[in-house]
Each structure stands twice: as C-alpha cells, then as structure tokens.
Chains A and B, each alone.
Chain A
Amino acid sequence: MGDFAFDLAHLLSGLMVVVSMVLLYQDRLTAMLNVFAAHAMLLGAAVGWQAEVQGAGHLWITAGIAFVFKGIVIPAALHAMVRRLGIHREIETVVGVGPTLIAALALTALAVLVVMPATEYANPLAREDLAFALAVVLLGLLMMITRRNAVSQIVGFMSLENGLILAAAGAKGMPLVVEVSVAFSVLIAFIVFGVFVFRIRERFDTVDIGTLERYRGEQQDGA
C-alpha cells in the first residue's frame, strides 16, 4: 500500500470526524440534515477508497448504500418530514455550543489515546481508521445526549452508525454478512424511528422529546 492510499484514507476518515463536529453546532434542522448528507457521502467515499485499496469488491456495495441511501434518500425523506411537520425552526439544545465542542474535542482525543496504544500490532490503515471511527461514534453519542428533538436524535444515531460502518470497512476482510446487516439495521431503524416520530406527532403535536418525559408512568402516581 502506497503512501498516497494511506493519506487519502486518512483524509477521508479525518474529514468525517470534522463533519461530525460540524453537526454538533447546527441550530436549524434543515441545515443539520444537509450536514448529515455530507457526512454520509464522505462515508461512501471513505468506504469506496477502502474497497479500492483492499481490493475488496463487496465493500463497493456498502459504499454505494452509504452514498445513495444515507447520503441522498434518507436526508430527502427527513427534509420532507420536517416540512410536513412544520418544524424547520431552531433546535433546542440541552448544553450550549461552547461546552459541547470542548467535550467533542476531549472525546476525539480520548478515542485516539485509547485506540492507538491498544492496536500497536494491527495493520496501520485499520489502526487510524478505528481511532477515527471511535471518535465519530462518540461524537454521535454526544449529539444524541445534547439534543432534545426527535429528528436530531435520529440524525445523531445515524451519524453514530456511520462511524460503525467506517470501522467495519477498515477491518480488513470483514465478511459481507455484517455490512449488509448493518445497512439493513439502519433501514429498520429508520422505519421504526419514522413510525415513532409520526406517532409522537399524533399524540403531542410536537417532536420535542422533552414533552414525552412528563408522561413517565412513575411520576404521575406520586411516589
């Protein structure tokens, strides 16, 4: 594997971490969905490059799914949903942008510090890839924690899954079974999420998760 192959793989997965950070400070739903589309397309490119470098034909399928399905179809569907629900206004966050980004930096550093020593003997390409992938996963988690809106939690979860696929693609020769299953699970996740969002809409006229918390069964019986 040449230096160029290594550098480009590095660049693409590094860009994904950057876009994950960009996702964290979006304060409008439509903008956030556009950033997510970019995130998914970058994933498609990163996985495609891995397919080329590793000579693993089946990874092209994963790349295609990431690019077309998560980069185009899902953001378009979510855009439509946001329009239909009339919620393309600002997003309420739990934590301010400043502390969130500092936490994001800390998590990225943590990912690198944890993975690098543990993977000393692994293939260097997989090694860098895993560190970046872990960072993307942790940033996705952070996004889910700091948002109260159902659509942004969905996006947070999907960016987390993008990190998983990046990791799976970096692991050399990981069988196709798993990648297809992940892509499939995202599909299921999307359907379920969609069903939930619409049901939530029926009940509460909002997709703000904060509204749901008042309905915890335990609280109403005054324990």
Chain B
Amino acid sequence: MTPLIAVLCVPSFAVAVLVLSADYRLSAGLNVAFSVASLAAAVWLLVSGPFVTELFLVDDFNIYLILLNAFIGCTTAIFSAAYIGHELETGRLTPRILGLYHAMYQAMMGAMVLALISNNIGLMWVGIEVATVSTVMMVGIYRTPQALEAAWKYFILGSVGIALAFLGTIFVYVAAEQQLGGGLASMAWTNLKASAATLDPGLLSLAFVFLLIGYGTKAGLVPLHAWLPDAHAEGPTPVSAVLSGLLLNVALYALLRFKIILAGNPATIPVGPVLIVMGLVSLIFAAVMLYRRVDIKRFFAYSSIEHMGIVAFAFGMGGPLANFAGLMHMTMHSLTKSAIFFAVGHIAQVTHSQRFADIRGLSVSHPGLAVAFAFGVLAIAGLPPFGVFVSEFLVVSSSFARQPLLAVPLAIGLLIGFGALIWRLQDVLFGTPNPAYAPRQASLLPVYVHMILVLVAGLWLPDPVRRWFETVAAQLG
C-alpha cells in the first residue's frame, strides 16, 4: 500500500507547492524534481508487485502504463524547463502564469496515474476528467485568439465526451447492481470482470456505446477527433508531447478495461469490429489529411490520430499477436511522438514559426537538431530498425493471418502516411535556411533518450519486457 500512497501523493503535494511558488526557475526545477520523484514511486510500485483493493488495482496491464507515463512525464519536465525559459525570454509567457502552468502539469500527471490505478470505474472517470480540465488550462495558456479557440473547443468536446462516458459508467453500475448488490463492490472493475457473464447484456452494450463515444473522444478517434489538432498546435509544445504521448493512451486504456468486461459476456455487442472500423477510418482519414497540413504541430497531431487508429485496429483484431502488437505500438508511439514534439519545440523556437513554409534547410543551419528530428520522423514513419517498424509489422502480419482483406486498407493507410512524413521531412531538412534563425540553446538529451529506447526495442526486446507484453496481451483476450 505504501508505494500506492507515494504514487498518488507526490503529484498532489507537487500541485500544492507549485501553486504557491512564485519564482519560475525554482518552479521549473521543482517540476523536474517532482517528476523524478513520481518516476521513483512508479518503480517502487512495480517492485512491490500487484495488489487489489476495492478502490485501487495494480496488475500487469496498468503498471506498465504507469511506468511509461512517469518516465515520459519526467523527460517532458526536463524539456519543458528549457522550453519555458525560452518562451519567457521571447515574452510569450509571463512568470506569473508559469506557477499555474507547472501546477497544472503535475495535476495532469497525478490525474492520469489515478485513472490508471483505479479499480473503481467511477474513480477512473474522475481521473480522466481532472486530466482533461488541467490540460485545457495549459492549452489556453498563451491567451492568443487561436489558443483560446483551441482551448474552448477542447473543453466543450472533452466535457461532452467525458459526460457521456459518465453516463456509460452509470449504466455499467446499474447492470452490476442487480447482481452484486450495489455499493463500492459493484463499481470495482475486478468484480465486474469476474461476474461479467451474469450481467445484463443489453445494459452492458448500451453502456459501451456511451463509453466508446466518451473515451473515444479523448483518445482522438475519428470522427471524434476535432479537438485534437487545435489543442496540440496552440498549446505549449511540452503539453502537445504529453497529450499525444500519454493522455490518448490513458483514454484508450479506459476503453480497453471495458472491452475486457464485455468480452466476458458473449451476448453483448461485439466490440472488436467497432474498434477495427474506427481504427481504420482514423488511420486513413488522418493519413490523407497529413498532406493538407501547413503547420508542423498540427501535422504531427494528425499523425497521432493515425497511430491511435493503428492501435485501436490492433486491439479490435484481438488475439495474442495483435494485442501484443497494439501494446507495443502504444509504447513505441508514445516514446517516438513525444521525442518528435520535443524536436518540433526546438524547431519552432529557432525558426520563430510553426509553418512548414518558414522551416527550411535545418540540416545546414542546425545539424544536430536536424539529425534528432530526422530520427524521430523516420521512426514514426515505420522504417526499420526502430521499434515502430516492429509493432506496425506485427499489426499488418497478424491482420494478414486473420483477416487478409482488412490488411489491404491498413497497408494503404500506412503507405499514405509514410509518403506525407517523408515529403515533409525533406522540406524541413533541405533547402536554404533563413539567416534569421536563432541558435539552439536547449539540450537534445530528452529526444535522444527516447530515440535510443525506441531503437533498442526495434533491435532487441528484452525478455522480461516481451513476457510482460505477452501476459497483458493474453489478459486482453
């Protein structure tokens, strides 16, 4: 129980401290320190092993996401400290508002841990709700008209989504209450899973429709994705990195927990085909939309929709291999996409622009940054030897083995997205740089740490990690 308290209390304590902290250097430093402490707490949780109570649950599935979250939260905090310093110099942010920014960052990290670690489906909902509200505050922090529009849209769509997810949660409870007799026991996911076969299939199916719309909105699945590109493009880049890298995963995780419950009751609607269709539509739609993007952060936001589509497709397919591929792709995408957003943040700061038209010839003006960015883009495009290649290859091959016809649109979508990524990569790297570009100040270390992990995973997946993915894949059914 102690590591559980640590995991939840570090971020809460951090919020309280950071709200009060006035000096931005101090609060950026504290933010990093608290994120490191959260990572340590997550490792402690991993070491102390699984447990179940009525409110909280640690099993193979969520511990790996908690660890991934804490790790990316940590590297993003390091990136954010440098990024924010630069934003202050250019006057886009004021020191006064940064206390709020750092407090909201920790609130979001804490809320995501709460959502992941909850056994109670109501508590899980609370976690995702708080994470949404805190990211809204961060997206709107520049207070430009574009940022306000993005934050408003995110808030309205996010709240409606989250409200519908709550309705779904109530329906699940009503179904459980008939069998388990009400109270906390009938909101515990472990109990719901154990007695899934005896629950009313009609109610469960109805509940899942609302949960799919609700959490699907948060996961950015087409056609519920409208908030995502704006929120990524107009907020500070560290927020884009955690939105893409972490929050989308958490929403999908919530959906998968309910998928497991429904899988235990054969009379409910089949969840797999729904996820397959939404996944394919997201993949192809986002891949095509990539060609029309002129803003570098919007471009990678659409790429995130594309990859969430691939993950949803894999989990919709089900079975040990596809689930394994989905889990691995979730991890690889988180690491790679947050690294790309770190690099994009540096690019936007040196070129003073987010528009592709203004970003040219980085290989000449900033070779180090260009190499880091190229690594990220080549990895996310699915080229070997990076981990994304392995997971995408597994998704495609498992789909060929099970449903060859579905593999065709999947492969086409991947190729369309690949083309757009390579095209834009050339634009950014080559050509004549603008002499007005500023020198890069911040370190590229967080980018390289992520890329090395993705590279290692692509070449050789350590045995414990592989077994771990296999156990979870089996649990997902």
Q: Give the interface of A toward B (CB within 8 A).
A: 114-115, 117-123, 126, 130, 133-134, 137, 141, 144, 150, 153, 157, 160-161, 163-164, 167-168, 171-175, 177-178, 181-182, 185, 188-189, 192-193, 196, 199-200, 203-204, 209, 212-213, 215-218, 221-223
**A199 lies within 8 A of B140 (CB):** yes
- Say whether, besides A121-B178, A126-B174, A217-B150, A141 and B160 are in contact (CB < 8 Å): yes
Q: How far does the Cβ of B441 sit from chain A's closest Cβ, in whole Å?
A: 25
Q: How far does the Cβ of A143 sit from chain B's closest Cβ, in whole Å?
A: 11
What are 22 pairs between A and B in contact, CB < 8 Å?
A114-B206, A120-B200, A121-B200, A122-B175, A122-B200, A123-B178, A130-B170, A130-B171, A134-B167, A137-B167, A141-B160, A144-B156, A163-B167, A173-B186, A174-B182, A175-B184, A203-B143, A217-B146, A217-B233, A218-B293, A218-B294, A223-B292
**How far does the alpha carbon of A10 sit from the alpha carbon of B152 in the complex, in Å?**
36
Residues of chain A within 8 A (CB-CB) of B181 are: 173
Contact partner of A196 (CB less than 8 A), chosen from B140, B163, B164, B169, is B140
Q: How far does the Cβ of A214 sit from chain B's closest Cβ, in whole Å?
A: 8
B462 at the binding interface (Cβ < 8 Å): no
- Say whether, besides A178-B122, A196-B148, A167 and B167 are in contact (CB < 8 Å): yes
**A177 lies within 8 A of B182 (CB):** no
**B355 lies within 8 A of A203 (CB):** no
**Hey, what's the 0/1 contact readout for B286-317 against A, CB within 8 Å counting as 1?**
00000011110010000000000000000000
Chain B residue at smallest Cβ distance from A215: B145
**B160 lies within 8 A of A144 (CB):** yes
Chain B residue at smallest Cβ distance from A216: B149
Q: How far does the Cβ of A186 sit from chain B's closest Cβ, in whole Å?
A: 10
B126 at the binding interface (Cβ < 8 Å): yes
* Interface contacts beyond A137-B163, A157-B160, A188-B130: sample of 9 additional A-B pairs, CB < 8 Å, sorted by A: A150-B152, A174-B122, A178-B169, A189-B133, A192-B133, A192-B136, A196-B148, A212-B148, A216-B149
**Hey, what's the 0/1 contact readout for B199-227 against A, CB within 8 Å counting as 1?**
01011011000000000000000000000
B166 at the binding interface (Cβ < 8 Å): yes
Contact partner of B149 (CB less than 8 A), chosen from A171, A181, A215, A223, is A215
**How far does the alpha carbon of A106 sit from the alpha carbon of B183 in the complex, in Å?**
35
Contact partner of B156 (CB less than 8 A), chosen from A115, A133, A157, A204, is A157
Residues of chain B within 8 A (CB-CB) of A181 are: 122, 125-126, 129
**B177 lies within 8 A of A173 (CB):** yes
B123 at the binding interface (Cβ < 8 Å): yes
Chain A residue at smallest Cβ distance from B166: A164
**A217 lies within 8 A of B151 (CB):** no
Q: How far does the Cβ of B225 sit from chain A's closest Cβ, in whole Å?
A: 14
Q: How far does the Cβ of A48 sit from chain B's closest Cβ, in whole Å?
A: 19
Chain B residue at smallest Cβ distance from A141: B160
Residues of chain A within 8 A (CB-CB) of B156 are: 144, 153, 157
Residues of chain B within 8 A (CB-CB) of A203 are: 143, 145, 148
Chain B residue at smallest Cβ distance from A197: B152
- Say whether, besides A218-B294, A218-B298, A168 and B170 are in contact (CB < 8 Å): yes
Contact partner of A171 (CB less than 8 A), chosen from B151, B177, B234, is B177
Contact partner of B146 (CB less than 8 A), chosen from A141, A161, A164, A215, is A215
Residues of chain A within 8 A (CB-CB) of B40 are: none
B334 at the binding interface (Cβ < 8 Å): no
Q: How far does the Cβ of A145 sit from chain B's closest Cβ, in whole Å?
A: 10
B392 at the binding interface (Cβ < 8 Å): no
**How far does the alpha carbon of A118 sit from the alpha carbon of B137 in the complex, in Å?**
38
**A122 lies within 8 A of B203 (CB):** yes
- Say whether, besides A192-B137, A217-B230, A175 and B187 are in contact (CB < 8 Å): yes
**A218 lies within 8 A of B149 (CB):** no
Contact partner of A118 (CB less than 8 A), chosen from B126, B140, B177, B205, is B205
- Say whether, besides A160-B163, A177-B120, A196 and B174 are in contact (CB < 8 Å): no
Q: Please report whether the interface of chain A is mostly helix, strand, loop or mixed according to DSSP.
A: helix
**How far does the alpha carbon of A175 sit from the alpha carbon of B133 in the complex, in Å?**
23
Q: How far does the Cβ of A154 sit from chain B's closest Cβ, in whole Å?
A: 10
Q: How far does the Cβ of B170 sit from chain A's closest Cβ, in whole Å?
A: 5
**How far does the alpha carbon of A205 sit from the alpha carbon of B298 in the complex, in Å?**
28
**How far does the alpha carbon of A189 sit from the alpha carbon of B129 in the complex, in Å?**
10
Chain B residue at smallest Cβ distance from A150: B152
Chain B residue at smallest Cβ distance from A173: B182
B173 at the binding interface (Cβ < 8 Å): yes
**How far does the alpha carbon of A172 sit from the alpha carbon of B293 in the complex, in Å?**
50
**How far does the alpha carbon of A197 sit from the alpha carbon of B183 in the complex, in Å?**
39
**A122 lies within 8 A of B178 (CB):** yes
Chain B residue at smallest Cβ distance from A164: B166
- Say whether, besides A173-B183, A175-B183, A164 and B163 are in contact (CB < 8 Å): yes
Contact partner of A212 (CB less than 8 A), chosen from B133, B152, B177, is B152
**B148 lies within 8 A of A223 (CB):** no
Chain A residue at smallest Cβ distance from B183: A173
**How far does the alpha carbon of A222 sit from the alpha carbon of B123 in the complex, in Å?**
44
Chain A residue at smallest Cβ distance from B155: A192
Max chain A C-beta neighbours (<10 A), residue from B174, B186, B205:
B174
Residues of chain B within 8 A (CB-CB) of A221 are: 294-295, 355, 357
- Say whether, besides A119-B203, A217-B233, A217-B295, A160 and B146 are in contact (CB < 8 Å): no
- The 4 nearest A-B residue pairs measured at CB: A173-B182, A215-B145, A118-B202, A178-B122
**How far does the alpha carbon of A156 sit from the alpha carbon of B164 in the complex, in Å?**
14
**B148 lies within 8 A of A200 (CB):** yes
Chain B residue at smallest Cβ distance from A179: B122
Which residues 11-69 in B have Cβ within 8 Å of A in the complex? none
B363 at the binding interface (Cβ < 8 Å): no
- Say whether, besides A130-B171, A217-B150, A188 and B133 are in contact (CB < 8 Å): yes
**A164 lies within 8 A of B167 (CB):** yes
Chain A residue at smallest Cβ distance from B354: A217
Residues of chain A within 8 A (CB-CB) of B166 are: 164, 168, 182
Residues of chain A within 8 A (CB-CB) of B149 are: 212-213, 215-217
Contact partner of A177 (CB less than 8 A), chosen from B122, B160, B175, B186, is B122
Q: How far does the Cβ of A213 sit from chain B's closest Cβ, in whole Å?
A: 7
**A118 lies within 8 A of B203 (CB):** yes
